[in-house]
Amino acid sequence: MSELLQMVIDSDERADLRQFIGLLYQQEKRYLLRSDILQIFSEYCASVGKEANFYNHSLLARLIYFTQEFIVENESLCLVIRPVVARQEVVRINREDLRVEPMTIQAYLDLCDQTAGRFRPQDGDVLELDFQPFYDFSPSIRDPKNIGRGVQFLNRYLSSKLFQDPGQWLQTLFQFLRLHRYNGTQLLINERIQTQQQLSTQLKRVLALVSSRRPDEPYANFRFDMQSLGFEPGWGNTAARVRESLELLDALIDSPDHEILESLISRIPMLFRVVLVSSHGWFGQEGVLGRPDTGGQVVYVLDQARSLEKQLQEDHALAGLETTPKVIILTRLIANNDGTRSNQRLEKVYGTDNAWILRVPFREFNPSVTQNWISRFEIWPYLESFALDSERELLAELGGRPDLIVGNYSDGNLVAFLLARRLKVTQCNIAHALEKSKYALSNLHWQELDEQYHFSLQYTADLIAMNAANFIISSTYQEIAGTPDSMGQYESYRHFTMPELYHVVSGIDLFNPKFNVVPPGVNENIYFPYTRTEERTPGDRERLEQLLFSLEDSEQVFGHLADPTKRPLFSMARLDRIKNLTGLAECFAKSPELQERANLILVAGKLRAEDSTDREEIAEINRLYEIVDRYQLAGKIRWLGVRLAKVDSGEIYRVVADRQGIFVQPALFEAFGLTILESMISGLPTFATRFGGPLEIIQDGVNGFLINPNAQEEMAASIVEFLSKCDANPDYWQQISSRGIQRVYSTYTWKIHTTRLLSLARIYGFWNYGSQENREDLLRYIEMLFYLLYKPGAQKLLERHALQVAIE
């Protein structure tokens, strides 16, 4: 992309570039992000009378579009150019003669430090973190479009290895098949088959055996015949299923193919005990939704646990096994439980046979802290000891090691790493959201923010966990690699500085096949279309309709509706800055057209600031009251300060849909957006932020609408336009509603999610066994970061907690 810069310099737009650079030097900011750059370019074009064609299609416009950052120096300008997703180039252009030269990442990070006023290279060296050497000998994806399709790439890579070196890899496959046992019982292949050559021979005999049986004949009828040939349970529950599995193995031996490899490995019964880590706490099934940090995560993990158990049961039944798979959700026990079940060590997950919430307390370094809820920003000092204590509890509850550990969010992923490292178990990470991309320049100004957010610990924990993981699940492609307009969450960890702490020269390799896009689903027992009236409970419908539109209860409800018949404009989220419910309220307040056509109804946690201990929530509560007062919204807004039971949260969408309302999700950034799926499957036309996961869920104007939460007038106009179309065409609301429902059922179900997750776990398990890739050097490097960087910082935070307790 530096070629494009040179093209601008060599063209008749050279003067425009020079004038634009001059305008940059007039700005107060020295560090300009893409939004700043685009705004300044727009101002430049307007000030010199450029036509729209120049703003949109000139060489300079293309350069501006691809530029992510400008750093203004005394004599030159640093440009971070992103020509395609997941790739960056840093160059410096001399202000005087427009000479261009490339910059190393190290020089760029030094310049970032100087810009922040925190560090000058001549003052001394800084620790550099570089993970790239550990990925240099791993298979690597080349095309950015294939990022997030790691398992497809890995299957092709493995099948090519089978083809190139069949002797070694077929021997590896043979040894892998002999590994598997369940409760001491040998599966798949027994001692009668001692070599890969014997396997090939016996495979032909056993195929002849099962081919002579009726397709639906139960495996039990010919089990002993198969055992005499060297084949144990695990191939199938009927003759047809056994034959299919063995034919896949036979085909793979004769002509390796990536699709055959995936189909075969996905059938191998190797997962019986799964642990899902959600360490933050307030994890429960009644009245507990993260308080308020991790409510979406709680819903996600509970639904995932139910679906995992069900899928494991189905898989094992198809394999011909009588098993009792077990899923454990590992979280923290909170003694002061505020009337919830967060103080119970063990709780069965509703609707399951053998899925459990296991709660392990934090050690009582500071009982007045650890016996209570702790913000996700303050949790870091307690995670190592929590992992050590949890190891003993898990081994006792499971009766052995788990087969898979799945971490959730930054803290859960760190615990998953510590457990997987000690137990030598496959580790999967799910970030849900990485804070680094939420808070602009938070790494550059971490010292000012650390007292409140402790980003130095969180970003270090993220680097540790994401590099240690065997595979990573993201809900969307852009969570990994972003869009042409914006950087991905994981992408933001490739190169960054935390001045006076460390430089990250290479934090994560996005082209490594560990990344996989596996979106979550919705619980279809709770969230389903409003038209399925036979499945709805009339009493719940009437109660929630009253709660939404008419109930007078100062404890639960703020505001009344002067005209409850207006179309409801509905949103439901926790009150924090990123979720931006106050931004939606302000958008509504500034639009007379919206107020004329609709009522605003918010379900948002608490009504009183004094009931909250979260600083962001307190600030948003106060701001919402201020907006209502300033814009005189009395009679036009309802604010419900309630925590809904799960079944109520499903019905409340349908109640709004009964009145042909709409759902608005106005977050400044949304990693994925489960509420978007919930509203769409319920039948509500949905407006959601264009920043983050909704961009991949919603096809704008087809099955929903994308909005810019930073442009309130534009957002209001988009909603008003939809309402006008509904008035003009009574079928329009129903068309968008039906398409939204269809979109969710075709792509976003838990059945699809867990089938894929279990397939990934099996394939990465085979890869880790067969690749002979030495991860020990990487894990030792990661351990060094944990003990030399993370642990001292966590200890300082622990001491601060103790001091705060002493003062209080």
Task: Give yes or no for residue 121 having a pLDDT over 60.
Answer: no
Q: Return the pLDDT at 289.
A: 57
Mean pLDDT for 631-654 is 91
What are 494-533's pLDDT values in tens digits? 999 999 999 999 999 999 999 999 999 988 889 999 999 9
522 CB-side CA count, 13 A: 29
Task: Give yes or no for residue 123 having a pLDDT over 60.
Answer: no
Task: Give yes or no for residue 629 having a pLDDT over 70.
Answer: yes
Task: Give yes or no for residue 672 having a pLDDT over 90.
Answer: no
Task: Give yes or no for residue 325 having a pLDDT over 70.
Answer: yes
Task: Give yes or no for residue 593 having a pLDDT over 90.
Answer: yes
3-state helix, strand, coil in the chain (%, to 5): 50, 15, 35
Mean pLDDT is lowest, of 24-33, 292-301, 411-420, 466-475, for 292-301
Do 273-521+772-807 and 535-747 share a fold?
A: yes
CA dihedral 52, 56, 59, 65 (to 10 degrees): 140
Rg (CA), the chain: 28
* Residue boundaries of the structural domains of the chain: 2-103, 156-178+189-231+235-267, 273-521+772-807, 535-747
Task: Give yes or no for residue 119 having a pLDDT over 70.
Answer: no
Four-way CATH pick for 2-103: 3.40.50.460, 3.40.640.10, 3.10.20.740, 3.10.450.330: 3.10.450.330
Task: Give yes or no for residue 559 having a pLDDT over 70.
Answer: yes
What are 131-181's pLDDT values in tens digits? 999 998 889 999 999 999 999 999 888 888 877 877 787 888 899 999 999
* Angle, alpha carbons 261-265-266 (nearest 5°): 115
Q: Average model confidence (pLDDT) for the chain?
A: 92
Q: Does domain 535-747 have CATH number 3.20.20.70?
A: no
Task: Give yes or no for residue 573 having a pLDDT over 80.
Answer: yes
Whole-model pTM above 0.75?
Answer: yes
**Superfamily for domain range 273-521+772-807:** Glycogen Phosphorylase B; (3.40.50.2000)
Q: Return the pLDDT at 124.
A: 58
DSSP labels, 423-478: HT-EEEEE-S--HHHHSTTTTTTHHHHHHHH-HHHHHHHHHHHHHH-SEEEESSHH
Which of the residue ranges 94-98, 251-255, 269-273, 618-622 has the most confident prediction, judged by mean pLDDT?
Answer: 269-273
Percent residues over pLDDT 90 in the chain: 76
Task: Give yes or no for residue 260 having a pLDDT over 60.
Answer: yes
Do residues 798 and 381 make contact, with C-beta atoms less than 8 angstroms apart? yes
122 — pLDDT class (breaks 50, 70, 90): low
Q: Return the pLDDT at 118.
A: 64
What are 59-78's pLDDT values in tens digits? 999 999 999 999 999 999 99
201 — pLDDT class (breaks 50, 70, 90): very high
Four-way CATH pick for 156-178+189-231+235-267: 2.60.40.10, 3.30.2350.10, 3.40.50.2000, 1.20.120.1230: 1.20.120.1230
Do residues 752 and 521 make contact, with C-beta atoms less than 8 angstroms apart? yes
Percent residues over pLDDT 70 in the chain: 98
Task: Give yes or no for residue 290 having a pLDDT over 70.
Answer: no
Q: Return the pLDDT at 240.
A: 97
Q: Return the pLDDT at 653.
A: 97
3-state secondary structure of 174: helix
**DSSP bridge partners of 94:** 76
- Of the candidates 182, 159, 178, 184, which has an alpha carbon nearest to the alpha carbon of residue 169? 159
User: Which has more confidence, 584 or 695?
Assistant: 584
Q: Return the pLDDT at 688.
A: 97
Q: Return the pLDDT at 716.
A: 96
Q: Could you give the maximum distance between any two Cα atoms of the chain, in Å?
A: 87
